[in-house]
Amino acid sequence: MDHQVYYRFAQTNGVPQESKLANYMNIQNSSGSLHQSFQSKLSIEPKKPLTSPQCVGGTSLVSSAPASPNIFNSFTPTLDPSPIRCVSDHPENSSQSASPNRVSSCSPMSDVNNIAVAAYQENVGGTTYFYPTTSETCHATDVAVNSNLTSDYNVYPGTPNHITSLKAKQGASFFISKDLQMELMNRNALTLMQANQQYADLPQVENYHELCPLERIPSNSLHKTHLGYQASMYKAIHTKTGTPYCLRRLHGFRLQNAKCMVVVDLWKNLNHSNIVQLQEVFTTKAFGDNSLIFVYDYYPGSETLLSKYFSSDQPDPFAPDTSPRPYSHQKNSILRHQQNNKLPEFLIWNYIIQLTSALRLIHSSGLACRSLDPTKIIITSKNRLRLSCLGVMDVVLNENSASVNPLALVQHYQQEDLTALGKLVLALACKSTVAVQRENISTAVDIISRSYTSDLRNLIMYLLSPQQRKSITDLMPMIGARFYTQMDNLHSYIEVLEYELSKEIENGRLFRLMAKLGTINERPELNMDGAWAETGDRYMLKLFRDYVFHQVTEDGRPWVDMAHIVQCLNKLDAGVPEKICLMSRDEQSMLVVSYAELKHCLEQSFHEILNASPVKKDLIECETEKKV
């Protein structure tokens, strides 16, 4: 089959693009598809002109790679294998030396992001080549690496060394890791979750709608929690911002006075990574009663420490043994249970660090938690703990009477917090909530002395000792160097997340590019022009779309290669001077075109669409306005 090869430059108008811009050569190709044998035939082109350095504005991209049409072989994973050197403009370069072969009709390649690329053409053996003009060519001696030179495109920076081992484990990918993806998607799904039919009649409460219970709402009002008040939890969406929140409702609660709102304001200002932030507190009759609502940040997929570690499925080893077995027998079974189920010590210290960190802020703000309980601490992924019920006790008990010294009261509650922390750590170490009951404490401490370090035991003993006046700051030396381990783990995890994020930034960039391509390709009409998408610049982009996405093997089967797609899009985004060969669908014509030209076509065509569009929005608009 005969193919006509056209070298196209700048002349983007005219229908079709195959208007003869240059001489052509005929190439025999048996299959007609874009495959290697065809490519090898094309690479017979003389190398000399094609390897000449090409200067883009003040920056020269000196490439040793042949610029011959390269189809399958060009799918190497790097953007451009050639070394890229930044060359400053040299006065000598600006004088254009005329060459007999250079035709004055050569049109400078039009502005690509303000980068003018001029060109001349030359006929070698019947094939026309286009080169940058002398003014643009730069001598190697002029090369001066200018570190301040900024480009309008990003080059994929590779993977940081410390991530590579992890990457090797996970398997390199263009996308965010599967585990993280699943986790985030799961959270999204939970955030979008809607109440089923049973709760369809839940009202809108002030600015919060789409209420969805986070636990079964007990129909029995005798099911009391929170100091005698029935309580329920909902996810709700803020009507104005669309942000999800968590509402804790106390049923049938009448607020006597508004003094407690002073403390509420203190809680609202408390911001810490281990605290569920309180947003607001209000009363409502929307449920048909007097309800008190506490609005907190919503953390999808969280569960309480109680449900995570103290499952009711397993019998508690510390539960009173009614059988007539000797005490030693029960102690042995507790030991066995503890050995089989015990939490790793580093995890317990991890929790201690998080909880003490939150308590430190709370106490130093003149407040007390008062709900340090496994049911009021939520845990999300990566063992992140958060105190989830802050401020409720202060409002419900509302002890702001004149007779009470508020400072003394807070100090008392802070001491209670520390005792509660000791019990919590003991319960976690024994995996038993019954272990913290007064009669079990000595057995429990004995048990943990056998399983954990003396540091952990000492911390628990300190917190549970009734005599001393304790302080949260006393715990810091007890935690000691474990802080550094925790920090190191956190920093490593941040680096992993940043690496995952950087991949998605690249994907976002390519998505915007594809959004532009998709907006242009196959558009039925623009400004009453039904042939718009099939002519001029758009025709080039259509062929490019085929080149990127519709490659086939020699025998016509689809060739799906992500690396090829990503590489082509990256080169398009960068507008590199590398040329590719595009073929019309009827296989009668081929066009040799550079990515820089294609990028220009894309920008031009997209602008045409934007200019005709009444609404210019979101990503595409941002992207476009940034570049214009």
Which residues make up each annotated binding site? 248, 297-304, 375-376
Contacts of 331 (CB under 8 A, 6+ apart): 443
Using CB under 6 A as the binding rule, whether residue 215 contacts ligand ATP is answered as: yes
- Cβ 535 to ligand ATP shortest distance, Å: 56
- Cβ 491 to ligand ATP shortest distance, Å: 26
Using CB under 6 A as the binding rule, whether residue 193 contacts ligand ATP is answered as: no
Nearer to ligand ATP, 49 or 213 (CB): 213
Torsion of CA 204, 208, 211, 215, to 10 degrees: -130
Nearer to ligand ATP, 277 or 553 (CB): 277
Number of residues that bind ligand ATP (CB under 6 A): 20
- Cβ 192 to ligand ATP shortest distance, Å: 14
Bridge partners for 26 per DSSP: 4
Bridge partners for 282 per DSSP: 293
Using CB under 6 A as the binding rule, whether residue 270 contacts ligand ATP is answered as: no
Nearer to ligand ATP, 276 or 526 (CB): 276
Residue of 429, 459, 435, 422 whose CA lies nearest to 331: 435
- Cβ 204 to ligand ATP shortest distance, Å: 20
d(CA 385, CA 564): 44
Query: Looking at 388, 432, 440, 605, which residue binds ligand ATP (CB under 6 A)?
Result: 388
Contact (CB, 8 A) for 500 and 494 = no
User: Amino acid letter at 250?
Assistant: L
Contacts of 607 (CB under 8 A, 6+ apart): 624, 628
Using CB under 6 A as the binding rule, whether residue 302 contacts ligand ATP is answered as: yes
Using CB under 6 A as the binding rule, whether residue 130 contacts ligand ATP is answered as: no
Contact (CB, 8 A) for 286 and 203 = yes
Stretch that binds ligand ATP, among 82-90, 264-272, 297-305, 589-597 (CB under 6 A): 297-305
CA distances from 290 to 175, 204, 246 (A): 50, 15, 19
By three-state DSSP, how is residue 520 classified? helix
Structure token digits, residue 468:
């001393």
- Vertex 513: Cα angle to 507 and 518 (nearest 5): 120
Annotated binding site for ATP: 248, 297-304, 375-376
Nearer to ligand ATP, 198 or 465 (CB): 198
Using CB under 6 A as the binding rule, whether residue 205 contacts ligand ATP is answered as: no
- Cβ 231 to ligand ATP shortest distance, Å: 5
Which parts of 220-249 interact with ligand ATP (CB under 6 A)? 225, 231, 233, 246
Stretch that binds ligand ATP, among 46-54, 75-83, 315-323, 373-381 (CB under 6 A): 373-381
d(CA 414, CA 473): 12
Q: What is the enclosing helix (H) or strand (E) of 19? A: none
Using CB under 6 A as the binding rule, whether residue 164 contacts ligand ATP is answered as: no
- Cβ 494 to ligand ATP shortest distance, Å: 23
User: How far apart are the two ends of the chain, measured CA to CA in Å?
Assistant: 43
Using CB under 6 A as the binding rule, whether residue 25 contacts ligand ATP is answered as: no
- Cβ 374 to ligand ATP shortest distance, Å: 8
d(CA 105, CA 415): 88
Q: For 93, what's the count of Cα atoms within 13 Å in the CB-facing half-sphere?
A: 24
Q: Tell me which residues touch ligand ATP (CB under 6 A).
A: 214-215, 225, 231, 233, 246, 276, 296-299, 302-304, 306, 375-376, 378, 388-389
